Every structure is written in structure tokens, then in C-alpha cells.
Amino acid sequence: MPTINISSIGMEGNEEVYQYIRDKIEERFKELLSRAGEVKVTFKHHPKRNYTTIIIMIYMPRVVIRVEERGENIKEIVDKALDKLGSRLRRYNEKIREWRGEKPWSILELEEEMEENIEAVYPEYVPRIRKNKLLCANEEMEVGEAIEYLELMDVPCYLFKNKENGKWSVVYRLGDEEYGLTETP
């Protein structure tokens, strides 16, 4: 079992809650975490909006699994986050043969009509840009592998270099289990 590091931002550390999450992780995920290098749990309190966010990051071989949940009741958000974590850890372990390169990544390709003129649909739209860290792979990967990174890290999009054609590509969520792929020319 890897070390579980727990920290708090904007609130005092609550040893009872820390022990609760350690016990739950060890009890529910002992076998699934056998390959994990480190587990980081961060609680962040937002006093102006009166809620707390929990972020759990698990450093597995070749990927970081990230879960985020927010709410007012700490034990409720811990339980919700651990449910999500269980789902993502099972998904990672189901795909371990693909991660090891023993089996090819599989994807279902769909044709989709694209909107030609976004201004006709949203004439007064002015985008707000929030600066984020760039999420990007250091090595070429298949589209299916990039989708797994997207899901396991719980991010809206993922930039990677496509193994099939050597082009920089972005995968992103369209809906439940549907993804978009954009490639450079």
C-alpha cells in the first residue's frame, strides 16, 4: 500500500477526517492500489461560498488518476470522491494490458457534422479564458490511450502526439462516452 499524504488549504487539519479517508482508501482499494507510487489528498475550504473541495491524486505507472468533489459535508464529499476513485481505478486495471502495450487501444470512430459558422449560432458570444496548466503527453500514444488519460485525470481535454500519424491532437468530451478528436493539419 502506498503512502497516503493528506493536506488542507484554508482550514485546520482534522485528524478524525484524515483517519477516516485513510481507513476507507485502505479498506476499499488495497488491491487496486498495488501498483500506485503515491496517493495525495488535498482538502480546500472556500469560505466565501461555504463549501469544501477534495482532490485525490494517485500516481500510477504511466498515468495520474485524479478525482475532485465538492460540497458542504466533508464525509459526504469524501464518500462521493472515493466512489469516483473506485470507478477510475477499476477502469485503469481493466485497461492494464493496453497500458503495457500488450493489446492495441480500441476506439469507435464516428462521423459528425461540424458547425461551419459559430458566429451565426452565437452572434454576441465573447469567450472567457481561464489559464490552466497544459496537460500534454511526453511521448506518442494512440487515441484510445489519450482518452484513458482524459478520463483518469478527469480533465475536459487532453493534448497528445498521435502515434498513428505523428500529428499533435486533442481529445475532448462530447457527452457520455462520446469523444471528439481534433488534429493539426
CA dist 84 and 64 (Å) reads 14
The answer to whether the beta carbons of residues 181 and 113 sit under 8 Å apart is no
Mean pLDDT of 30-59: 86
Residue 109, pLDDT > 60, answer no
Q: If you average pLDDT over residues 116-128, what whole number do you get?
A: 51
Q: Which residue has the higher pLDDT, 164 or 106?
A: 164
**36 and 79 housed in the same domain:** yes
- 94, 115, 135 - which closes a domain: 94
81 in the same domain as 8: yes
Cβ density class 134-168: b for 16+ within 10 Å, e for less: ebebeeebbbbbbbbbbbbbeeeebbbbbeeeeee
d(CA 70, CA 54): 6
Could you give the angle at the alpha carbon of 64 between the alpha carbons of 26 and 93, nearest 5°? 60
Structural domain that includes position 40: 4-94
Do 86 and 32 share a structural domain? yes
Res 49 pLDDT > 70: yes
Domain count, the chain: 2
Q: Is 51 found in the same domain as 34?
A: yes
* 44 contacts 55 by C-beta, under 8 angstroms: yes
Mean pLDDT of the chain: 80
Query: Where is the domain boundary, 69, 94, 119?
Result: 94
What would the mean pLDDT of 118-131 be, rounded to a whole number?
Answer: 53
Paired with 41 in beta bridges are: 6, 56
Q: Enumerate the β-bridge partners of residue 59.
A: 38, 64
